[in-house]
Amino acid sequence: MSYFNQVNKVSFEGADSKNPFSYKHYNPKETVAGKTMEEHLRFSVAYWHTFTADGADPFGAGNMQRPWNHLQGMDLAKARVEAAFELFEKLDVPFFCFHDVDVAPEGDTLAESNRNLDEIVAMIKDYMKTSKTKLLWNTANMFTHPRFVHGAATSNNADVFAYAAAKVKKGLEVGKELGGENYVFWGGREGYETLLNTDLKLELDNLGRFYHMAIDYAKEIGFDGQFLIEPKPKEPTKHQYDFDVASGLAFLQKYDLTDHFKFNIEANHATLAGHTFEHELRYARVNDMLGSVDANQGDTLLGWDTDEFPTDLYSTTLAMYEILKNGGLGKGGLNFDAKVRRGSFEADDILYSHVAGMDSFAIGLKVAQRLIDDGVLDDFVSERYSSFTEGIGKQVVDGETDFHALEQHALQLGEIENRSGRQEWLKSVLNQYLLNVNATVGAK
Ligand code: XUL
Ligand code: CO
């Protein structure tokens, strides 16, 4: 049985191809700075958006036309696995990601849910034997079921804390079974609505305890995937604890967890936090904490997590700039935590959306590498900070001065001279690189 019979294989056909089921820029075997595009980009399909979600929103019922819609329960779960591996093969994506409840239905008890999961995981493992597609990460959904109404590891209810622990324990076992390269913690309802009913300190301490227990268990079973925290400032709770990279890092430092975690940075979460995607990537990168990416984009006119497929070339270029400067994503990848719009309900849209996202990041990769090769931003930035490479500036950086010496320096200064930051010029250079991949515009 074929679920996507409109296409045999989506392949690279080049920028001039008119075939909508082809890559115009993503050429997996093409090398950029010594690595293939496939190795650089490590694309991943998000199971929940592509195979589980049905297009329902607060105003309307599910409307996605999917060839598995007539099925239910475990039959539905199995059909989705078949469809998933067909899509992975046809798109030629190296990775996928899932939550426990995306792949297998919850039973009436935890034990039954675990049995359902075991059956589907065994099926996935079987498919993985002949597929090139590997597990980038899995995670536990601890936000959909009503038991998590007050949170999971930060619930006021210790029974819920225990239930959450059991789900993560199982998730780590599944990650080990399938060779997952990472394990993600997105604090779905780890946050609060009002301080009037909240013991904020206990909730945060418990979250720290929870993560330590997860580390211990991973060690116990020999799961060596990278642990990732995925920050998000709000939604579903008003105040999410893992607000952004900066607050997440402070949390990890306080609870002595930095050696065991990195960040999974999602573009739309960054913008919800009032940052750019590249800000979050930079903040993680300079702290050696950039682990993986949920590749999507938000909508500046809407104040929530719209999870659109990434097509903004400025954003993909500046994101790839950070990723290249990071030396790549290591075990991480670019996971399309993105969904087709409700109006894009045909099965073909699943293919078009992934093609759009992959081509957008392929362009970003090429342009970012050229910006780096030509030293465009690097040269400008080092020149801008050159006052710290000599004289008093160098003494500051080398830790060889103090307030007395700095005052002496300041007292003998005349008028201080500053130089332009040249934002507009830099943006026009970025445009030149985006519009003409052969541009070579040196720093001014
Ligand atoms: C929610 C979100 C999640 C995580 C995994 O906004 O991004 O899908 O990526 O739980
Ligand atoms: Co995400």
Q: What is the DSSP string of 116-139?
A: HHHHHHHHHHHHHHH-S-EEEEEE
Q: What number is the average pLDDT over the span 308-332? A: 98
Give per-residue pLDDT as tens, 63-105. Answer: 999 999 999 999 999 999 999 999 999 999 999 999 999 999 9
Q: How many CB atoms lie within 10 A of CB 253?
A: 11
pLDDT at 393: 98
Q: What number is the average pLDDT over the span 311-323? A: 98
Q: Are 264 and 230 in contact (CB under 8 A)?
A: yes
pLDDT at 444: 43
- Statement: residue 426 has pLDDT above 70: yes
Check pocket membership of 242 for ligand 1, CB cut-off 6 A: no
CA of 159 to the centre of ligand 1 (A): 24
Residues 6+ positions from 132 with CB-CB distance below 8 Å: 94
CA of 198 to the centre of ligand 2 (A): 26
Q: What is the DSSP letter of 52?
A: I
Active-site residues, by number, are 99, 102
CA of 335 to the centre of ligand 2 (A): 8
Report helix, strand or coil for 277: helix
Nearby residues for ligand 2 (ion, Cβ within 5 Å): 266, 294, 337
pLDDT at 441: 60
Residue 367, sorted as left (phi over 0), alpha (psi -120 to 50) or beta, turns out to be alpha
Q: Are 344 and 407 in contact (CB under 8 A)?
A: no
In whole angstroms, what is the distance from residue 349 CA to residue 39 CA?
26
Tokens found for residue 244: 């952004």
Give per-residue pLDDT as tens, 210-257. Answer: 999 999 999 999 999 999 999 999 999 999 999 999 999 999 999 999
CA of 59 to the centre of ligand 2 (A): 23
Write the CA distances from 3 to 26, 74, 85, 401, 424, integer angstroms. 24, 18, 10, 68, 49
In whole angstroms, what is the distance from residue 141 CA to residue 264 CA?
16
Q: What is the DSSP letter of 309?
A: P
Check pocket membership of 280 for ligand 1, CB cut-off 6 A: no
In whole angstroms, what is the distance from residue 157 CA to residue 151 CA?
9
Check pocket membership of 337 for ligand 1, CB cut-off 6 A: yes
Q: What is the DSSP letter of 57?
A: B
Residue type, 139: T
- Ligand 1, pocket-test mutation among 139, 186, 277, 280, most atoms within 8 A of CB: 186
Q: What is the DSSP letter of 332?
A: -
Check pocket membership of 186 for ligand 1, CB cut-off 6 A: yes
In whole angstroms, what is the distance from residue 324 CA to residue 347 CA?
34
pLDDT at 1: 82
- Statement: residue 443 has pLDDT above 50: no
* Reported confidence tier of residue 121, pLDDT bands at 50, 70, 90: very high
- Statement: residue 442 has pLDDT above 70: no
Q: Are 171 and 137 in contact (CB under 8 A)?
A: no
In whole angstroms, what is the distance from residue 160 CA to residue 168 CA?
12
**Quick one: the chain helix, strand, coil %, rounded to 5?**
45, 10, 40
Q: Are 62 and 56 in contact (CB under 8 A)?
A: yes
- Statement: residue 169 has pLDDT above 60: yes
- Of all atoms in ligand 1, which is nearest to the CA of residue 143? 10
Tokens found for residue 407: 């005052």
Residue nearest to atom 5 of ligand 1 (CA): 186
Report helix, strand or coil for 243: coil
CA of 188 to the centre of ligand 2 (A): 10
In whole angstroms, what is the distance from residue 163 CA to residue 113 CA?
12
In whole angstroms, what is the distance from residue 26 CA to residue 38 CA?
8
- Ligand 1, pocket-test mutation among 98, 228, 266, 292, most atoms within 8 A of CB: 266
Check pocket membership of 143 for ligand 1, CB cut-off 6 A: no
